[in-house]
């Protein structure tokens, strides 16, 4: 299978900024990105820390995933030299944009009561411009928004509504209720289209001008890795020649609150994977897109190969809804699949593993045992590091962003360190590249991810 799938382009964004150089300055230098986020009020939570990019020139417009995905997809296609109109599959790993959900409920809750004192546009109604009609409109808007957010926002009208909201146009133009006034709740409801994962895939494909099949993966923290694996299967079987695989997560309050309530977030504002004193994970911004091609297709058009994807594997151990199998059974199975597919079941050519490495109590020990089971003869001699120690956990985007990081390690001959490493845990006894990058002659590297429900993925990359 070696050389059947080739990477020809990528675009990436993390808290460190946009592009490969930002990753080199942050991830590969071992500099954690964690700061108190100001994106929302963190007062109710146990920690304010996240790997969230600051506001400013490099900020994503309106903190919307559609903008970040479009930017990374454009950069990937430009690097690959592929034009608009290319027949390419678009495979996206994402959970939707949860900011739209949070905004909707907050805007709905903040809507003023219809007491006859004014219209929904701020007019008093005293001169006859508001009055009973405005009150009825407000009641109707509230009823539609609170009882059925999808009412009159389905299909093409949802897309048009979202466009009009962004442009500042009245929602009545798309028939939202025959004279229904524009209200904060209704405007927020229009943005709910961004919370639908399949809609974001369609938006990405349409914005990039790509023709071909579209598919969205929502299987949590392996979502974008699963998208890459599926693309590799399609390409290697000859069903497609080109695929754009992407994933994204931007830190927002909906998910932040859930991880906080589950007591999964680090207590000391740092992520210390594989260390004895690790206390949990922190969330981080991550969006990336990669262009995969059949090697023959890339060769015919003279594209520069960045890396080959020579093996992939996926397995589920279904041990627990939120905890990995204590022996890393599923992870080991996925890694062995990838190595066998690459013709190297013993991992003799493997030079580095980018671990899932969340810095949580259960993950790190289980992952260590899973790697020992996958490559028993070589586990102690292969460097392993967790880049979540710098980026934070990127959730659905973890697979594709860490794929890009692993590819850069191959291209540059530099291993990214496990930042924040303090003291060894007896259960975590491998070479974790502590705190400092390491230069090495690297031919092949493995990147692995895991998710709730026992899902595990492995992708094996090779330097061209």
Given the residues 98, 325, 356, 428, the one annotated as active site: 356
In this structure, the strands spanning 242-249 and 438-439 are unpaired
In this structure, the strands spanning 438-439 and 414-415 are antiparallel
Q: Does the annotation count 428 as an active-site position?
A: no
DSSP letters, 370-399, are HHHHHSTTTGGGS-EE-THHHH-B-GGGHH
Provide the H-helix boundaries in 113-193.
131-147, 156-167, 184-191
Q: Does the annotation count 393 as an active-site position?
A: yes
Which of 345, 351, 424 lies closest to 384 in space, CA to CA? 351
For the chain, what is the largest distance between any 2 Cα atoms, rounded to a whole number of angstroms?
A: 85
Return d(Cα 374, Cα 371) in angstroms, integer.
5
Which of 15, 87, 444 lies closest to 291 in space, CA to CA? 87
- Cβ atoms of 431 and 383 within 8 Å: the answer is yes
Given the residues 98, 232, 393, 428, the one annotated as active site: 393
Tokens, residue 131: 């009055």
Return d(Cα 3, Cα 430) in angstroms, integer.
30
- Cβ atoms of 1 and 38 within 8 Å: the answer is no
Given the residues 72, 98, 221, 428, the one annotated as active site: 221
In this structure, the strands spanning 286-294 and 242-249 are antiparallel
| Residue 357: Cβ within 10 Å count | 31
Please give the distance of CA 432 from its chain centroid, rounded to a whole number: 24
Buried b (16+ CB within 10 A) or exposed e, 155-180: eebbbbbbebbeeeeebeebebbeeb
The 3-state secondary structure of 310-345, one letter per residue: EEEEEEECCCCCCCCCCCCHHHHHHHHHHHHHCCCC
Tokens, residue 78: 């430009």
Tokens, residue 263: 């007591």
Angle between helices 223-236 and 398-412 (to 10 degrees): 70
Sequence-distant (≥ 6) Cβ neighbours of residue 206 within 8 angstroms = none
- Which positions are catalytic? 221, 356, 393
């Amino acid at each position: 299978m070696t050389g059947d799938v080739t990477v020809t382009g990528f675009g990436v964004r993390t808290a460190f900024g946009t592009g490969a150089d930002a990753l080199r300055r942050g991830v590969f230098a071992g500099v954690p990105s964690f700061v108190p986020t100001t994106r929302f009020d963190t007062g109710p939570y146990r920690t304010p820390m996240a790997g969230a990019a600051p506001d400013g020139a490099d900020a994503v417009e309106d903190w919307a995933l559609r903008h970040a995905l479009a930017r990374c997809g454009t950069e990937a296609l430009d690097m690959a030299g592929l034009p608009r109109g290319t027949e390419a599959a678009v495979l996206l790993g994402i959970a939707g944009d949860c900011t739209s959900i949070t905004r909707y409920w907050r805007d709905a809750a903040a809507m003023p009561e219809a007491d006859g004192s004014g219209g929904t546009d701020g007019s008093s109604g005293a001169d006859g411009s508001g009055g009973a009609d405005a009150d009825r409109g407000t009641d109707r808007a509230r009823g539609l928004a609170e009882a059925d957010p999808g009412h009159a926002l389905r299909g093409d009208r949802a897309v048009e509504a979202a466009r009009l909201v962004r442009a500042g146009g009245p929602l009545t133009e798309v028939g939202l209720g025959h004279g229904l006034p524009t209200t904060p709740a209704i405007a927020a409801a229009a943005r709910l289209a961004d919370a639908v994962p399949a809609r974001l895939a369609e938006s990405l494909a349409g914005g990039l001008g790509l023709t071909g099949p579209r598919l969205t993966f929502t299987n949590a923290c392996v979502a974008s890795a699963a998208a890459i694996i599926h693309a590799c299967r399609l390409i290697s079987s000859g069903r497609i020649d080109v695929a754009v695989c992407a994933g994204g997560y931007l830190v927002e309050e909906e998910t932040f609150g859930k991880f906080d309530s589950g007591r999964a977030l680090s207590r000391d504002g740092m992520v210390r994977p594989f260390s004895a004193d690790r206390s949990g994970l922190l969330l981080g911004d991550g969006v990336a897109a990669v262009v995969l091609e059949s090697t023959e297709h890339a060769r015919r058009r003279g594209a520069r190969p960045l890396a080959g994807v020579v093996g992939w594997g996926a397995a589920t151990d279904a041990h627990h809804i939120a905890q990995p199998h204590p022996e890393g059974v599923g992870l080991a199975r996925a890694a062995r699949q990838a190595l066998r597919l690459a013709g190297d079941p013993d991992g003799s050519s493997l030079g580095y593993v980018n671990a899932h490495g969340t810095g949580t109590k259960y993950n790190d020990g289980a992952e260590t045992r899973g790697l020992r089971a996958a490559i028993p003869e070589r586990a102690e001699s292969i460097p392993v590091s967790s880049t979540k120690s710098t980026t934070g956990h990127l959730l659905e985007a973890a697979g594709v962003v860490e794929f890009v990081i692993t590819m850069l390690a191959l291209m540059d001959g530099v291993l990214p360190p496990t930042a924040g490493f303090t003291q060894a845990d007896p259960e975590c006894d491998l070479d974790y590249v502590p705190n400092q990058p390491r230069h090495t002659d690297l031919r092949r590297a493995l990147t692995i991810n895991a998710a709730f429900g026992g899902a595990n993925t492995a992708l094996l990359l090779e330097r061209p």
